[in-house]
Amino acid sequence: MPRYYLAWAKDERIREKGANGGFVTATLVSALETGFIDAALVVEKKSVYEGIPVLTSNPEVVKECAGSLHGAPINLTKYVVDYGAKKRIGLPTKPCDARGIIEQAKRRQVNLDNIVMIGLNCGGTLHPLRMREMAADFFGFDPDAVVKEEIKEGKICLVSKEEGMGEKEKWVKIDALEQKGYGRRDACKSCVTKIPTSADLACGNWGSNDTQKTFVEVLTEKGEAILKNAIESGYVEIEEAPGEGIEKRKQIEAGMQRLAEDWKERMDEVSALSRSERLEFYVDALKNCIGCGACKEVCPVCACEAGAKCLDMNDARDSYVVSMYNMLRIFHLMDSCIGCGECEDVCPVDIPLTLIHRRFSERMQRHLGYTPGMDVKERPPLYETELRWSAEE
């Protein structure tokens, strides 16, 4: 079987509602209806600014959740861990979702044999609150009147519908927004994993000239099997991807990665500081921590056993200005942080956790030659236990 395809849903309604032809939705629906998976984990639109994860065995719910939500910066890993390992689950995975799941599999928290990851390329997500501010400040729209959002060719589009005014559509360059501190989340701006190569399939619009055809890369045997299942059960059609599409996708990915490296430098205000100023920066940022533990709860790579002593919140209330909790988390995550920024999103006192973790983890990961979440066979440094889930557990 060739590795690259253009693919689309045969059902017209799924094709219309889907982001690029509804291939992902149709594949999950067919997998549910044929018993290939027991449940699907998808993202339900709550508003233009917000989406929430939904675990379902109902194909109609999966159809309702078609489409890409850029204002849903959730990571689905913890939901997969919570679901357990006994049943088969299929889900769309941005690169950070796939990387989180791979790290959890290495730490024996999920059984990868029961998970099918339908990867989504990702240029980035937007924080829902920043997105509302952006709608007002940059687009001149009432945030509550925005009915649609889209990202295409380096621009963000918002469509607003105000009473008696009809529909208004505006496109703004992402770069212009980001120069002013709006646009994608910091974690996404600096993320270099744009194509989820650790998933079973990687789907996106890069490389496809047709807005109703998804460009699909087959990455594993499981990916090939779910694709075959979708075709044979009559839900999906495919054609081989043209060579120029494959090349274009590669070029866009490389361009986005260069931009991410550039952002990393631009956003790293700490690099220019002296040693003592740097210490001051960390202390100033971390001393505000109220010890709520939200960053640990949401972290897709945290795999502490329940009650693990090192991160017990009561023990963390020590007499240092910067709590041991933060210091332990920084060290604990240095080999495994995937830079998804979920911790910063939920921090009630706005600690710049994306930057702080990146400064420590990137250096350490480079030093150890380890990139978390990419290769399931690669052992995390200093990790002794057997890799992966075993059926006897």
Phi, psi of 39 (to 5 degrees): -150, 155
Question: Which of 5, 36, 141, 206 touches ligand FAD by CB under 6 A?
Answer: 206
Among 11, 18, 117, 149, binds ligand FAD (CB under 6 A): 18
Binding mask 111-130 for ligand FAD (x = CB under 6 A): ---------xxxx-x-----
Shortest reach from residue 123's CB to ligand FAD, in Å: 3
Q: Which of 30, 77, 104, 205 binds ligand FAD (CB under 6 A)?
A: 205
CB of 120 to ligand FAD, least distance (A): 4
Task: Write the interaction track for ligand FAD spanning residues 62-101; mark x where CB under 6 A is met and - where it is not.
Answer: ---xxxxxx-x-------------------x-x-------
- The smaller minimum CB distance to ligand FAD, of residues 142 and 247, is found at 247
Nearer to ligand FAD, 198 or 326 (CB): 198
Residue of 22, 44, 73, 57 whose CA lies nearest to 230: 22
- 123 or 223: CB nearest ligand FAD: 123
Single out the residue of 5, 6, 11, 22 in contact with ligand FAD (rule: CB under 6 A): 22
Question: Is 365 a binder of ligand FAD (CB under 6 A)?
Answer: no
24 binds ligand FAD (CB under 6 A): yes
The interface with ligand FAD within residues 255-274 (CB under 6 A) comprises: none
Q: What is the smallest separation between the CB atom of 241 and ligand FAD, expressed in angstroms?
A: 13
Residue 322 CA from chain centroid, whole number: 30
CB 92 → ligand FAD: shortest distance, Å? 4
Question: Which is nearer to ligand FAD, 22 or 372 (by Cβ)?
Answer: 22
Pick the closer one to ligand FAD by CB: 200 or 335: 200
Choose between 32 and 334: whose C-beta lies nearer to ligand FAD: 32
Comparing CA positions, the residue from 302, 283, 272 lying closest to residue 81 is: 302
Residue among 154 and 381 whose Cβ is closer to ligand FAD: 154
Shortest distance, position 88 Cβ to ligand FAD, whole Å: 17
Which CB, 34 or 327, lies closer to ligand FAD? Answer: 34
Q: Considering the rule CB under 6 A, would residue 196 count as an interface residue with ligand FAD? A: no
Interacting residue ranges for ligand FAD, rule: CB under 6 A: 18-25, 42-43, 51, 65-70, 72, 92, 94, 120-123, 125, 203-206, 214
